[in-house]
Structure 1
Amino acid sequence: MNKISLIVPCYNEEANIKPFYNAIMEIYTGGGGINDADLELMFVNDGSKDNTLQKIRALHEKDSRVKCVSFSRNFGKEAALFAGIRNVTGDCTVLLDADLQHPPFVLVEMYKKWKEGYEVVEGVKSNRGKEGLFHKLFTKVFYGMISKAVGMDMKNSSDYKLLDKKVVAELAKLKERNTFFRALSFWVGFKKTTVYYEVAERANGTSKWSTKSLIKYAINNVICFSYAPLHIVTAVGCVFTIIGIGVAVDALISFFTGKAASGFPTLVCITLIGFGGVMVCLGIIGVYIAQIYDEVKGRPQYIIGEKIE
């Protein structure tokens, strides 16, 4: 018999644990298409400060299929996803959020696609739900950059996907600390297909993603998966070189034709713009160096404080 594992990252989701479990069990026991497989429900508690772990432990006491990897502190969703990947045992694995914004009934269609022979089933958003104008614009720019980096359209991609055990095994081998799971699932290859879903409203609570955390998440992911910012540095350097040559030529022409002016304001502006460009370039390079520094230290991506098996 096949075994399907679910990886569910959780951070302060105490109000959603039981509704999520009920929604999964309703699909699993209702003859919806996945009840021909054994079930493993792997929660990953990402250092929650509320009663999330206690809620998971209570479910485990009633249902041994419920398991949990609990971090010693908050390490972030990327770490939670990879902790789940390294601890599940299913023939296929579905990754989805505990807040029910990833509709559980879609995993039935994913499972059917897997049985047809697909090894990666990507959940693609047919809409992005309720998002602010700034968030939508920022997301469009970010995923446009990432799509060019990986050579695939990721504009409506999500962490909601099914992976064959072969894919899970390859992802589990990765040793890098700074990861971008959504792009890595494209990078590994294998036979892919997509299913579409509408983003649902959160069952309870509010999003844990602030604007600041989203910007930080985006910058880290672009840096760890793309060389585009370094190419931007090169382009900026070329632009300022061309400007400098143009100004020098203009100054020489003015000097030899007797039209030279004091030019102090122009000189100040050019100096400030050039200095600003240099600092931006150094900042981009500095972020790459910081990423390298994180990797060479060799610290683990996460620390497990407790396992419920």
Structure 2
Amino acid sequence: MIEPVLTIVVPCYNEEDVLPDTISQLSQLIKALTGDQLISNRSKILFVDDGSKDRTWELIYKESLRNDYVRGLKLSRNAGHQNALLAGLFTAKDSSDCLVSIDADLQDDIEVIREFIHKYNEGNEIVYGVRQRRDSDTFFKRSTAEGFYKLMQKMGADLIYNHADFRLMSKRAVQELAGFKEVNLFLRGIVPLLGFQSNVVYYDRKERQAGETKYPLKKMLAFAFDGITSLSVTPIRFVLLIGMVSFFMSVLFGCYFLMLKFLGETQTGWTSLITSIWLIGGLQLIAIGLIGEYVGKIYKESKHRPKFIVDIDTFTIPISRHHLIGQTEEDEIYTMERRKFSESN
């Protein structure tokens, strides 16, 4: 059996605290998988710097000078986790047989990647890493996350329950993914739409060892809302349903009050009038706001702006490699290469 070329894609944003350990663990994993003849010795780890403001890129770049497994991709600005992940996948797809995406904090169990490879060799084009339990999460996070997956499934989105972005995709699957041209790509919902043979591997998620989470409550809510509006038109249909129900209720109440007027039992009331105005006005504002979200997405799509812009690429563009270099020479190479890329761009 021919060993597949594997590329592990790791999006990074301000991850200088966890990167040294992440690089060490993933490098040891690649070496072990190569030694067991599960993957080719041309396999790599591609770290994507998503516009970090700390030393993340410097650590990635210097490591790529001395570690043959490590490559780096630097985006010109912060494009967001999903776009950074796409940048890595699309950059590495032509040189890889299969690609694994994983977050830099390594809360996802990297030993599961071995099982990913076995599933891939069995003919699966996509292998999903699925959490067995959420015991490490707070009650609020666990309940909201599970509620989100259930809500999306009821809306018709084909999401894998308790799956995030820890998955293996074949070269063919990533090439087909590149055919989705919309700006608002919600990968957890788009990947199942590819329809290729797939499988799941269950694992236990670990605690974050260092640094801070890049998904506080505000970002989690924005991410969830973006996923809902990117994959489903059910919310806007729900608003239409509310509008129709409100209209028919208004007709019924209108007939009722008209009957009371003919019977001479009506009483003029300011409260009922104001309540009706506020109720209908609130429904209208909700409907307009929701429609505005979809119009805003259409606006973004019509511009055809790139999802990301690459500043420096050490995966496809060769760099000067010096083994057994000292710290001072390493700093000089980093500065020289950085200047060369700046001038070429």
The two structures share one fold, judged by TM-score above 0.5 = yes
Q: Which AA in structure 1 matches 2:301?
A: E
Q: Map Cα deviations across residues 250-277 of structure 1 (whole Å, 9 max, x no partner).
A: 2112112211111321111011011001
Structure 1 stretch displaced more, 125-134 or 291-300: 125-134
Structure 1 stretch displaced more, 152-161 or 142-151: 142-151
Q: Map Cα deviations across residues 74-102 of structure 1 (whole Å, 9 max, x no partner).
A: 11001011101111121011010110111
Structure 1 stretch displaced more, 267-276 or 241-250: 241-250
Q: Note if contact 1:16-1:99 (Cα within 8 Å) is conserved in structure 2.
A: yes
Q: Report what 1:173 is aligned to.
A: 179
Q: Which AA in structure 2 matches 1:86?
A: F
Counterpart CA distance in 1 for 2:47 and 2:207 is 21
Counterpart CA distance in 1 for 2:229 and 2:128 is 23
Q: Report what 1:107 is aligned to.
A: 113
| Pair 1:246 & 2:252 matched | yes
Three-state SS of the structure 2 residue aligned to 1:12 is coil
Matches within 5 A, 1:157-168: 157-168=163-174
The 1:141–1:239 alpha-carbon spacing in structure 2 relative to 1, beyond 3 Å, is: farther
Identity, in percent, stands at 30
Give the total of aligned pairs. 309
Counterpart CA distance in 1 for 2:174 and 2:108 is 20
Q: Report what 2:131 is aligned to.
A: 125
Identify the match of residue 37 of structure 1 among 36, 40, 52. Answer: 40
Matches within 5 A, 1:62-77: 62-77=66-81
Q: What is the TM-score when the length of structure 2 is the normalising length?
A: 0.85
Structure 1 stretch displaced more, 234-243 or 71-80: 234-243
Q: Map Cα deviations across residues 91-149 of structure 1 (whole Å, 9 max, x no partner).
A: 01101011011111010001110011111101111123533333233323322232234
Q: Report what 1:26 is aligned to.
A: 28
Q: Which AA in structure 1 matches 2:241?
A: A
Q: Report what 1:258 is aligned to.
A: 264
The alpha-carbon deviation at position 35 of structure 1 amounts to 4.8
Q: Note if contact 1:28-1:35 (Cα within 8 Å) is conserved in structure 2.
A: no
Matches within 5 A, 1:211-226: 211-226=217-232
Three-state SS of the structure 1 residue aligned to 2:206 is coil
Identify the match of residue 5 of structure 1 among 7, 12, 28. Answer: 7
Counterpart CA distance in 2 for 1:63 and 1:184 is 34
Matches within 5 A, 1:141-152: 141-152=147-158
Q: Map Cα deviations across residues 166-193 of structure 1 (whole Å, 9 max, x no partner).
A: 1011112221111101111111110011
The 1:162–1:34 alpha-carbon spacing in structure 2 relative to 1, beyond 3 Å, is: farther
The 1:198–1:42 alpha-carbon spacing in structure 2 relative to 1, beyond 3 Å, is: same
Counterpart CA distance in 2 for 1:33 and 1:290 is 50
| Pair 1:156 & 2:162 matched | yes
Q: Which AA in structure 2 matches 1:43?
A: F
The 1:33–1:235 alpha-carbon spacing in structure 2 relative to 1, beyond 3 Å, is: farther
| Pair 1:85 & 2:89 matched | yes
Counterpart CA distance in 2 for 1:167 and 1:24 is 23
| Pair 1:278 & 2:280 matched | no
The alpha-carbon deviation at position 201 of structure 1 amounts to 0.8
The alpha-carbon deviation at position 40 of structure 1 amounts to 1.4
Three-state SS of the structure 2 residue aligned to 1:15 is coil
Q: Which AA in structure 1 matches 2:305?
A: R
Three-state SS of the structure 2 residue aligned to 1:9 is strand
Q: Which AA in structure 1 matches 2:203?
A: Y
Counterpart CA distance in 1 for 2:238 and 2:205 is 34
Q: Report what 1:210 is aligned to.
A: 216
Q: Report what 1:192 is aligned to.
A: 198
In structure 2, the gaps of 5 or more residues are: 316-345
Counterpart CA distance in 1 for 2:36 and 2:296 is 47
Counterpart CA distance in 1 for 2:36 and 2:299 is 47
Whichever of the two has the greater Rg, that structure is: 2
